[in-house]
Amino acid sequence: MQGLNGSHISAFLRDSLSGLVFALVIITYCISFSALIFQGSLSGGLTLGLSALLTGTVMTCLVVALTTTLTPAGAGPDTPVIAVMSVLAAAIATQVAAANMGDELAVIHVMLAISVATLFTGLLLFALGALRMGVWLRFIPYPVIGGFLAASGWLLVTGGIEVMTGVALGFSAESFTALFGADRLPQFLLGASFALGVFILRRTIDSFLTLPIAFFVLVVVVNLVLLGFGFSEALGGRSAWYLDGLTEVQFWMPVQAVFEYDIDWGALILSSAEIGVVCGVTAISVLLDVASLEVARQQSADLDKELRYNGVANILSGFAGGAAGNLSLSGSILIQEAGAVSRFSGVAASGFVALVLFFGADVASYVPTPLLGGLLAYLGLVVLNEALIRSPAQRSRMETLLAGAIMAVIIYSGYLLGVVLGIVGACLLFALSYSRIGIVRRHLTRLNFASNVERSPHETALLKEHGEQIHVLWLSGFIFFGSSNRLFEFIKSVMDVQENPKVRFLVLDFGAVPGLDTSAVLSLIKLKNYCDERAAHIAFAGLNEQLRNTFRTAGIISDDGPHRAFSDRNEALEWCENLLLSEHESADATEETFERWLKSVFGGELEPSRLMSYFDRRAYKEGQVVLKQGGRSNSVDILATGSVAITITDEQGHKTRLRRMAAQTVIGEMGFFRKAPRAAAVIAEQPSIVFRLTRKNFERMQDEDPKAAAAFFRLIVRVLSDRLEFANREISALV
């Protein structure tokens, strides 16, 4: 019991300490964010803006900490959202100034717009989560997340340097000159040394106490040096090392303001576009922060839940006068690095910020700005390490380059443009990569792959002799502009190379193709025209209804033309086989040809009539049942002319055609010799003549004419051997 209490106390202290560290950083953020939004003519609203930002932090940090699936987590105003809010504030100020309402009303209108934007942001996030649209986040490519992470890390580093020195670090010579000036260099060296030192120590010493101990020890030491020993005056004065006080925080009550001030609702309506952008950017920030945190921590989040509760937090914040906020990538990493182990860390951070908000505790004014900035810079180094060094994208040079490009765009032009261009770039990269993967999954000729039609030895020999004229291609995947032309070029090269014999028939199996774009249709029209020039036929198999209608509209297929559509690959291949046979065989099958076949089978060792005397001749009309499914297997049949279909009927009454048997083939031998019920039905597809050997006649033949019985057995063995040999070749070709 004592051990359990001790562990609880330890966790409580760790969470409290990490919450305090996060609170100090987020308060610093809120001060700088308020100064960013309320500048120029709006500067009088600095304390109101700070109140709204702190209120939003208290609300979002508390709700997110208690509900997130990415524990521990911190929350508060996010940089992209604040950047858009500053645009909203400038737009409102311009409209109010045009109406000559004065600076005070301009501030009130800006604050009211922020509250409205926060409320609508909450409603949007909650709706996205309630409608389970978080799954769409999975479509965000990793380079976008990696670029977002890397840019956030860089901006944290540069933002930390700005907090240390007061110099906005840009890419101009002036900013670097100011940074290394005599009045800024001490602050920069202290903050940078702290950031780098803790970064190295944290990866050398695996202890959560590394960051908070280093931070608070340095706070005490630097305060002693600057204030205790009076060095602050010699190094630029207190204002160069500490933030201004926060003792006079003015509360913002949006509902009260509506009744106290003359609000120009038209100005807010005219700014609805900017308010909508705040909502949209916050939603994007939530999605990207959650995705990035998943990658950084190698955890999986419930996206819909995150959206719902971030929405609830913003709805509460909007009513309470807070500014929009959300789960924070940087804050969550910081609170984890500081040693947090549970949800209480976020609750503690919310409590510390609430103390500052309600009691004006001037905590930040006792923490030297170089250490606050160093804390931000350290956090930036952690994020950069996750994004660029430990990134999964390291396995792909192109994805790494794309992530770097997204990072650069975000740094130069902002998050929104960077994310949009990143998604476009990732899509193009995907299209380029996908187009390199051939959509032809398998390519065989009729020599290795046949339809489900068992043909006579004569037809089989013809198909074997001329089978190279039929090519079968299995296609898969969505066919688009990047892959459709590759398909055309592949088929064209095959047909150009094979000159003797020429390719006369193409079977294109679209069974695994879900769809295609217009470019693919154009490529198939090119293929059709090319085949027309070479008198080749195309059989399209497995087209869904949409593809069939598209091909018909484009003139690629028709019901009686050289290029047709079939329900499956077997029907398409059978059509090609029949066309090929019709070109090489003019005579119809008759009983005389059947007798000649029997003579060739027995090779003169036995007169066919001697064997056939035990068979009964039967004629069947089209559609008649030759053998019934489930019936007794008391006969074996030889199909003399015509053709039959092997069909099976399931328990629901659905019929499936398994195979077609042409003339001069054996039927029903499996059930006959195994004495098992008929597994399938045999139905005449056209007028057919069958010679049937009943079990009674079979036994009589064995007794009366053993030589005829032996010849019959050799016939069965030969039929089964031929079937097995071709099946083996098909399997070998398909493997």
- Section 449-474 average pLDDT: 87
Q: Are strands 563-566 and 537-541 parallel, antiparallel or unpaired?
A: parallel
Q: Which two tokens stand for residue 500?
A: 């003797």
Q: What local confidence, expressed as pLDDT, does residue 589 receive?
A: 44
The β-bridge relationship of strands 635-641 and 688-694 is antiparallel
CA atoms within 13 A on the CB side of 1: 0
Which has the minimum average pLDDT: 251-255, 370-374, 584-588?
584-588
Mean pLDDT of the 582-589 span: 62
Look up tokens 């509506």; give the residue: 258
Q: Which residue has the higher pLDDT, 479 or 367?
A: 479
For the chain, give percent helix, strand, coil, nearest 5. 65, 10, 25
- Other residues' Cβ atoms within 10 Å of the Cβ of residue 12: 15
- One-letter amino acid identity for 11? A
Highest-pLDDT range among 196-205, 402-411, 434-443, 629-638: 629-638
Count of positions (residues) in the chain: 735
Beta partners for residue 508, in sequence order:
473, 540
* Residue located via tokens 């700070």: 50
**Most confident residue range from 48-52, 157-161, 626-630:** 626-630
Question: Quick check: 531 and 491 in contact, CB under 8 A?
Answer: no
CATH of the domain at 654: 2.60.120.10
Together in a domain, 497 and 579: yes
Q: What is the pLDDT of residue 603?
A: 67
Contacts of 226 (CB under 8 A, 6+ apart): 232, 235, 238, 241, 368
446 in the same domain as 397: no
Lowest-confidence segment of 110-124, 142-156, 434-448, 545-559 by average pLDDT = 142-156
Closest CA to 444 of 561, 315, 576, 325: 576
What are the tens digits of pLDDT across the range 329-360?
A: 878 888 888 888 899 999 999 999 998 888 76
- By the 10 Å C-beta count (0-12 exposed, 13-18 middle, 19+ buried), 580 is classed as buried
Query: What is the arithmetic mean of pLDDT over 717-731?
Result: 76
Among residues 387, 411, 430, the one where a domain terminates is 430
pLDDT at position 393 over 60: no
- At 588 the pLDDT is 44
Q: What was the pLDDT predicted at 5?
A: 66
Whether 22 and 350 have beta carbons less than 8 Å apart is answered as: no
Q: What's the domain count of the chain?
A: 3
In this structure, are 453 and 579 located in the same domain?
yes
Higher-pLDDT residue of 567, 389: 567
Helix (H, G, I), strand (E, B) or coil at 207: coil
pLDDT at residue number 139: 62
Question: Which of 530, 565, 584 is where one domain is finished?
Answer: 584
Structure tokens at 279: 């909502």
334, 280: one domain: yes
Confidence band of 237 (pLDDT split at 50, 70, 90): low
The two three-digit tokens of residue 650, written as one number: 């399931």
Q: How far is CA 409 from the centre of its chain?
A: 23
Q: Beta-carbon neighbour count of residue 596 at 10 Å?
A: 14
Assess if residue 138 is contained within a domain.
yes
Is the per-residue pLDDT at 19 higher than 60? yes
SS3 666: strand
50 versus 173: the higher-pLDDT residue is: 50
Same domain, 449 and 382: no
- 3 falls within a domain: no
454-463, 525-534, 587-596, 699-708: segment of lowest average pLDDT: 587-596
- pLDDT at residue 315 greater than cutoff 60: yes
Residue 1 lies in a domain: no
Model pTM?
0.56
Domain-located, residue 164: yes
* pLDDT attached to residue 2: 46
- Position 161 scores a pLDDT of 81
* Per-residue pLDDT tens over the stretch 670-706: 889 888 898 899 999 999 999 999 999 999 999 999 9
Query: What is the arithmetic mean of pLDDT over 529-533?
Result: 94
Residue 173 has pLDDT above 70, yes or no: no
Kindly tell me if the per-residue pLDDT of 226 is higher than 60. yes
Q: What is the reported pLDDT for 606?
A: 77
State the virtual CA torsion across 25, 29, 30, 33 in degrees, nearest 10. 180
Q: Is the pLDDT of residue 208 over 70?
A: no
Q: Is residue 510 scored above 90 in pLDDT? A: yes
pLDDT at 113 over 70: yes
CA distance 496 to 506: 14
Residue 165 has pLDDT above 50, yes or no: yes
Query: Residues 410-441: pLDDT tens digits?
Result: 777 766 677 777 778 777 776 666 666 678 88
- If one compares 416 and 539, the residue with the highest pLDDT of the two is 539
Burial class for 500, CB neighbours closer than 10 Å (0-12, 13-18, 19+) = exposed
Whether the predicted pLDDT of 468 surpasses 90: yes
Is pLDDT of 238 > 90?
A: no
Helices marked H in 180-302? 185-204, 210-223, 231-234, 254-260, 265-270, 272-297
Statement to judge: residues 595 and 579 lie in one domain: no
Same domain? 539 vs 683 = no
Question: How far is Cα 489 from Cα 505, in angstroms, rounded to an integer?
Answer: 17
**249 and 150 both lie in a single domain:** yes
The mean pLDDT value for 198-202 works out to 83
Q: Is the pLDDT of residue 364 over 60?
A: no
Q: Specify if 617 maps to a domain.
A: yes
Both tokens assigned to 191? 């903050």
31: pLDDT strictly greater than 90? no
Same domain, 578 and 606: no
Same domain, 230 and 265: yes
Exposure of 432 by Cβ count < 10 A (0-12 exposed, 13-18 middle, 19+ buried)?
exposed
Question: Assign residue 328 a region: left if phi > 0, alpha if psi is -120 to 50, beta otherwise?
Answer: beta
Top-ranked range on mean pLDDT: pick from 77-81, 422-426, 514-518: 514-518
Q: Is residue 477 part of a domain?
A: yes
CA-nearest of 537, 520, 529 to 477 is: 520
Choose the most confident range, by mean pLDDT, from 76-90, 409-423, 563-577: 563-577
Q: Are residues 351 and 219 in the same domain?
A: yes
Structural domain ending residue among the three candidates 553, 584, 615: 584
Mean pLDDT of 432-457: 80
Same domain for 39 and 158? yes
Give the integer Cα–Cα distance in Å for 652 and 475.
Answer: 32
Q: Which of 581, 579, 573, 733 is nearest to 659 (CA)?
A: 573
Instruction: List the single range of 338-347, 378-387, 442-451 with lowest mean pLDDT.
Output: 378-387
| Residue 404 predicted with pLDDT over 70 | yes
Q: What is the mean pLDDT of the chain?
A: 82
pLDDT tier, 106 (very low <50, low <70, confident <90, very high otherwise)? confident
- pLDDT at 267 exceeding the cut of 60: yes
| CA pair distance 602, 349, nearest whole angstrom | 95
Q: What is the CATH number of the domain that holds 462?
A: 3.30.750.24
> How many secondary structure helices (H) and strands (E) does the chain include?
28, 16
Percent above pLDDT 90 for the chain: 27
Contacts of 471 (CB under 8 A, 6+ apart): 443, 444, 445, 494, 503, 505, 506, 507
Which residues face 655 on adjacent strands? 649
* H/E element, 154: helix 142-165
Question: Could you tell me the sign of the dihedral formed by the alpha carbons of 431, 434, 440, 441, in that order?
Answer: negative
User: Residue 577 falls within a domain, yes or no?
Assistant: yes
More confident residue, 722 or 15: 15
List of residues 6+ apart from 570 with CB closer than 8 A: 451, 452
Region 13-40 average pLDDT:
79
Q: What is d(CA 639, CA 601) in angstroms, rounded to the nearest whole number? A: 15
Residue 123, pLDDT score: 95
pLDDT over 70 at 592, yes or no? no
The per-residue pLDDT for range 394-403, each reduced to its tens digit, is: 556 777 777 7
> Domain residues for 714?
591-734
Tell which wins on pLDDT, 30 or 314.
314
Alpha carbon distances (Å) from 622 to 591, 625, 642, 682: 18, 9, 9, 12
The string of DSSP codes covering 301-327 is --HHHHHHHHHHHHHHHHHHTPPP-EE
| Band of pLDDT at residue 311, cut at 50, 70 and 90 | very high
Cα torsion through 580, 584, 588, 594, rounded to 10: -100
Asked if residue 659 lies in contact with residue 722, where contact means CB atoms within 8 angstroms, the answer is no
Say how many Å lie between the first and final Cα of the chain, rounded: 64
5 assigned to some structural domain: no
Q: Is the pLDDT of residue 587 over 60?
A: no
